[in-house]
Structure 1
Amino acid sequence: MSFENQLKEEMRLVLLRLLNEMPSYRGNSSTLHSGLDRWGLSFSRDQVKTELYWLKDQGCLSIEMEDPAVLVVKLTERGQDAVENRTRIHGIKRPSA
C-alpha cells in the first residue's frame, strides 16, 4: 500500500472519530478540516470534502446539507461501528486496540 493511501485511510478514521465526539454526531467540513489539522493531518478543504463523499458512499455518514462552501454531515451507525472497531471497512484504517 502506498503512503498516500495510508494517509487517506488514517484521515477517514480521524474524520469518523471527530464526528463520534461531536454533539448529535454532526459536524461540517470546515470544522472537520480544523480537527484534522489538530491531529497533525494536513489536507486541503477540497480533499476533506472528497473523503466525506467517499465515507457517504460507504454508508459511514450522511450528508445533511450540501453547499459549495461547506458540507454538513452526520455519523451513521455503520460509521460509529467502524470507529469503535465493531466492523471493518476496506479503505478506513482500523482503530488500534
Structure 2
Amino acid sequence: MHNIITADQRLALLQSLVACNNDANQGMLQTCIAQFGHSISMDLVRTHMLWLEEQGLIKINRLQMGATTMFVGVITQRGLDVANGVAVVDGVKKPNPEY
C-alpha cells in the first residue's frame, strides 16, 4: 500500500508542476498536491522532489533564503512525458486516461 501511495504522490507532484506552468516552489507543490488528496509534510515534498530529480523528471533550483534552502522544481521533457502518460517510470503512477 505504501508504494501505491508514494507513486500517486509523485504523479501528483508532476501534474502540479504542469498545472503551474512547469515550475513551482516546494510550498506551492505542497498546496497543489493537497488538491489531489495528499496532505503531506514539507520534508516529504522535498524527498519526493529529490527522487524525481534523480530520475531526470524534474530539475531543482535551490534558492538560499538566509539559513533555509528553498526548492523550486522545474519539470523536464521526460517528466512531462510521464505526467501525460506517454512514458512510464517505476515509482510514479501512470495517469488515468482522463487526465
Task: Calculate the TM-score normalised by the size of structure 1.
Answer: 0.90
2:8 aligned to which of 7, 10, 22: 10
> Contact (CA 8 Å) 2:62, 2:69: kept in 1 or not?
no
Higher strand proportion: 2
Higher helix proportion: 1
2:41 aligned to which of 36, 39, 44: 44
Structure 1 residue identity aligned to 2:9: M
Say what the alpha-carbon RMSD is for the aligned residues: 1.2
The answer to which of 47-56 and 65-74 deviates more is 65-74
Shift of 1:4: 1.2
1:93 corresponds to which residue? 93
Q: Does 1:82 align with 2:82?
A: yes
Identity of aligned residues (%): 29
Which stretches of structure 1, 4 residues or longer, exceed 4 Å deviation after superposition? none
Task: Calculate the TM-score normalised by the size of structure 2.
Answer: 0.89
Q: Indicate the SS of the match to 1:95.
A: coil
In the alignment, structure 2 segments of 5+ residues that lack a partner are none
Shift of 1:70: 2.3
In the alignment, structure 1 segments of 5+ residues that lack a partner are none
